[in-house]
Amino acid sequence: MKIGVIGLGTVGFGAVEILTQQKERLEKQIGEEVIVKYGCSLDEVTLPEEIIYTQDFHDVINDEEIDVVVELIGGTTIAKTIILEALKKGKHVVTANKALIAHDGQEIFETASQHNAKIYYEAAVGGGIPVVVPAKEDLIANEIEKIEGILNGTTNFILTLMETDNLDFDEALTIADGLGFVEADASLDLDGIDAAHKIQILAMNAFEMFFDFNKIQATGIRNVTKKDMDYAKKLGYRIKLIAQAKKLDKGYGIDVSPTLIGIKDIVANVNQAYNVVEITCNYLENVIFYGKGAGRYVTASAVVSDIIKTHKQDMWKHDYQYEECIYPITYSKYYVRCDHPLDIDYETYFSQDKDHIYITNKIELDELQKQLQNETYNLFKVRG
């Protein structure tokens, strides 16, 4: 097996390290030599002397000896060209590119099928957490009914800091950014877009469908205040950014939003930069995947696992139909905070200082918003 790694940033270099350090053990696993032939990057890096360094990705994908192309540059432009050209040459592809799979997965998978090539993308969803493969393979006896989880470690880290260190949003964001947790484009994390990319990938495989990513409604954490987190805690909840997907009577519900989770719930107790995915099935019922969602070796381990998987007989197919009916999940309980009493149907209520806090009974969001017309309020979903 000869490999070309395109993109030698944190994860790419980590993958090269694992492949070289674990070479003997990996070869024993697959009964074949494992060789990293190329490392490709615009910025020159020091590689083991047996690896050819190049700045031109064409050197990798045009080399007939290369079996697996690893795309780790990110983005949806040049990365797409690399992946499609590699697949058209019959080379297997491994990527951690969640945005590209979310936006252009249908074209990519169809190209792979046409050229009898494989594409794996475990690292695109939960970093090193094995969830894509188990959901697609190990749960094959089940119909997946619902997926919920914390899929963005940055926002989870920020929300954890706000609670444990008594910080407001801006203070926690500054710390997270200083530690390198925040994407260069912070909106990907803070506005729920990164989590939306990941739930799109999980929903695509779980429900065996392609759909327009732009139909996913994503709300981030910019409006979560320390005050709301404190009130949620008084009520027995913790606020987390939750991505979810489930079957509806007509179509599928998929969205990302800050959500109050019961404090005794496992998901509510996933803190710092950790991720969790909870899958509800018809036979297995509930299964939970938990672990670090980012980091050099954390993500690189998933990349290397996918590289080795290309050697094995493939049971993966992406011959899905396109699904038009994608909606936000709007029938829920809601947390509402206002500076005066409200005339709404509620399950729980209390007031403190000038704030009036409600947990509503389950209601459609548009109906609740009609009742709150002309009011100024903070509103979040409540799970349960």
- Write down the pTM of the prediction: 0.93
Tokens 């899929």 map to which residue? 151
Q: In angstroms, how far is CA 295 from the centroid of its own chain?
A: 14
List pLDDT tens digits, range 226-254.
Answer: 999 999 999 999 999 999 999 998 899 99
Cα–Cα distances in angstroms (integers) from residue 25 to residues 17, 48, 311, 346, in the given order: 14, 18, 15, 59
Binding residues for L-homoserine: 183
Residues with active-site annotation: 198
Taking CA atoms, 330 is separated from 63, 299, 359, 366, in Å, by 51, 33, 15, 8
- The more confident residue out of 317 and 125 is 125
Q: Quick one: which of 93, 71, 84 has its CA closest to 310?
A: 93
Q: Which residues are annotated as a binding site?
A: 98, 183
Q: Three-class SS of residue 357? A: strand
Please write the tens of the pLDDT for every residue from 83-94: 999 999 999 999
The model's confidence at residue 99, banded by pLDDT at 50, 70 and 90, is: very high
User: In the prediction, which pLDDT does 316 show?
Assistant: 75
Of the pLDDT bands very low, low, confident and very high (cuts 50, 70, 90), residue 315 is low
Walk me through the domains of the chain, giving residue ranges and CATH numbers.
Answer: 2-121 (3.40.50.720), 132-292 (3.30.360.10), 331-382 (no CATH)
Higher-pLDDT residue of 296 and 58 is: 58
Average pLDDT, the chain: 95
pLDDT > 90: what percent of the chain?
Answer: 89
DSSP tag of 138: I
The CA distance from 16 to 146, in Å, is: 36
Query: Is residue 370 scored above 70 in pLDDT?
Result: yes
CA distances from 348 to 226, 335, 361 (A): 20, 9, 9
pLDDT tens track for 264-278: 999 999 999 999 999
Per-residue burial over 210-228, b = 16 or more CB atoms within 10 Å of its CB, e = otherwise: bbebebbbbbbbbebeeeb
Binding site, annotated residues for NADPH: 98
For residue 336, give the amino acid letter: V
What pLDDT sits at residue 297? 86
